[in-house]
Structure 1
Amino acid sequence: MTHPRRTFALTASAAALALTLAACGSSGMAGMDMPRTSGSPAAPGTAMPGMDMSAPETDGLSDTLDGYRLTGLPATLPADRDSAVSFRITAPDGNPVTGYTPEQTEPLHFYAVRSDLTGFQHLHPTLAADGTWTAPLTAPQPGTWRFFTTFTPSSGPGQGKGYVLSSTVTVPGTAPASPTAPTAPTAPAPASPALTATTPDGYTVTAATPGGGELMAGMPHQLTITVSKDGKPVTDLQPYLETYAHLTAFRAQDLAFAHLHPQTQVTGDHGGPELTFQAELPKPGAWRLFLQFRTDDTLHTAALTLDAKG
């Protein structure tokens, strides 16, 4: 495009460069799934294997939609202790769903996030023959959590449709303070070249809208992410879930869910420095985005906050 890039309107926390990155070694980030080898790279001009091209029609804030239901999650979990969380997805006829169409290599994605948008965990549970899923949740801190499941049934009335279902879980105790948790902006932030922050281990992640203009809720936008390290473009991004980065968003006001779909084709272990995503946030407000990318067999997670206009 010939138009200059313009940036998202940032929340107060983003304007203060409230972006964090954790590098996950063999132990991984708390609750983070370990890196795995992706499938074959997508051929140029084709959709990525396993990609669900139909966007979910919900913000994910219900445990039931179209007769599909998320069941079996506990009401409470112990604080600061690893837990095996089990649940089922039941179909409109009441039976457990056992057949799923993979989305980015996985039949189901499980996310955990605390109400202050801390403690993000992205897991890939295991499925038993009776339809029971089990996710290894890592040591949640006290507070109110919301657990999300994203999936596409491979048969039945919801065949081929992407669903997001969620439920809240309480972790008893005194919740630790989170001074950097994003809140709704009280005034527009001043314009800047891009939302950028440099991480302690040298990675710099920049987010911008190449098409110009503000990010409007309910409208599709192209979001460009650029990754660099020590002032040099990063070109050794490794495939992760059949893409070079995975991007998930949660709305600060109510934890509404949005998955931003990658558009960059995978061509081996040399991705970057620029990645593109289709960003369509369903509601206006402050959104917390979690970007996961992989280098040197290490999974990193960057968290940034932006504002979607109504």
Structure 2
Amino acid sequence: MPLFRLMRLALAVIPLIAALGCGSVGTVTSIEADPPTRGLLAMLQREQAPTQEDRGYRVEIGTPDGSPIGAGETELVLRVTDADGEPVSQFREDMTKLMHLILVSGDLSSFQHLHPEHEGDGVFRVRASFPFAGRFLLTTEFKPDRKDVTVVRQWATVAGEARADAVVEPDLEFVKQTDGLRVTLSASPAVTNLKAGQMVMLLFRLADGKTGEPVKELEPFLGTSGHCVILNREADQYVHAHAAEGMSGGANVMFHAVFPEKGVYKLWGQFQHEGRTITVPFVVNVG
């Protein structure tokens, strides 16, 4: 039996088709899924995780009164419909939640992982904060009743005064200080020698920010030791990996992932420590 079958790998690798240009102010534009059908990437999806695609489902995202989405804190209403346009009323939990909503700005500088609450008849609500105007990638993940994980991705153009995009460049060091913790990223192959199409083991180590001592124990975060969301600089390649539980423990959390193509990628590791959600970003180059 292949080694990776023994690791309880939870991996989702989802290529996106980039939406070209910007929509009108405050609009949301859908992106169709284009999952791989051959090669290592497809094999991993088939054998280790359900294929993730929209399956004909749609998620309409807007504000309660239909006004454009604007910069700042706002309430979002999400309406889930099936391929026939009918509201979806039944959902099953996926990683302890009925819906995951991941918001990332087009320049990758802003990241949120939210959990809309289901009100019934396919309607969810959540409060989100858009720190500035511009394009945001909205990715919803959910399980309709008797269906596998379904992923719908779309771009939202947030109204407001435009700003210059942040520059996304590979990190020179892979140690970050955040929330009183020192987080180190290493990898096999080495984090400075990542290759497209090759399985990589990403290892996060969390230690006390002052003493450098490893944290004693991380708490489960959304049903696993950690989550890792990865986007390339163009935001058209998306990876959402869950911790490899058989190789994680204590202060260490490991993920397996495949970077679909060459380029610069930003990844966000998410963990829970002493009741707090820890989110730490790194930027890597993939050759």
Alignment equivalent of 1:111, drawn from 102, 109, 121: 102
Aligned-partner Cα distance in 2 for 1:232–1:250:
31
1:96 Cα deviation after fit: 2.2
Aligned-partner Cα distance in 2 for 1:256–1:151:
19
Instruction: Return the structure number with greater strand share.
Output: 2
Look up the equivalent residue of 1:294 and give its one-letter code.
Q
1:215 Cα deviation after fit: 2.4
Aligned-partner Cα distance in 1 for 2:240–2:232:
12
Q: Do 2:232 and 2:265's aligned partners in 1 also have CA atoms closer than 8 Å?
A: yes
Task: Note the alpha carbon deviations across 1:51-108, whole angstroms, 9 max, x for none.
Answer: 9x5736543755444422222436831222x211112222222212233342211122
Matched, 1:242 2:220: no
Aligned-partner Cα distance in 2 for 1:236–1:284:
35
Q: Partner residue of 1:252?
A: 233
SS, match of residue 78 in structure 1: coil
Look up the equivalent residue of 2:203 and give its one-letter code.
T
Unpaired stretches in structure 1, ≥5 consecutive residues: 1-44
Distance 1:282 1:123, change over 3 A: same
Instruction: Return the structure number with greater helix share.
Output: 2
Matched, 1:182 2:173: no
Unpaired stretches in structure 2, ≥5 consecutive residues: 1-5, 19-29, 33-53
Q: How much identity, in percent, do the aligned residues show?
A: 27
Aligned-partner Cα distance in 1 for 2:123–2:99:
12
Look up the equivalent residue of 2:16 and give its one-letter code.
D
Look up the equivalent residue of 1:182 and give its one-letter code.
V
Aligned-partner Cα distance in 1 for 2:15–2:150:
7
Matched, 1:217 2:174: no
Q: Partner residue of 1:170?
A: 157
Matched, 1:95 2:77: no
Aligned-partner Cα distance in 1 for 2:92–2:214:
35
Q: Do 1:63 and 1:69's aligned partners in 2 also have CA atoms closer than 8 Å?
A: no
Aligned-pair RMSD on alpha carbons? 3.0
- TM-score, scaled to structure 1: 0.68
1:281 Cα deviation after fit: 2.5
Distance 1:54 1:305, change over 3 A: closer
Q: Partner residue of 1:23?
A: none
1:154 Cα deviation after fit: 3.0
1:177 Cα deviation after fit: 4.2
- Tell me which moved more, 107-116 or 169-178: 169-178
Q: Partner residue of 2:35?
A: none
Q: Partner residue of 1:35?
A: none
1:109 Cα deviation after fit: 0.6
Aligned-partner Cα distance in 2 for 1:99–1:54:
25
SS, match of residue 97 in structure 1: coil
Q: Do 1:58 and 1:163's aligned partners in 2 also have CA atoms closer than 8 Å?
A: no
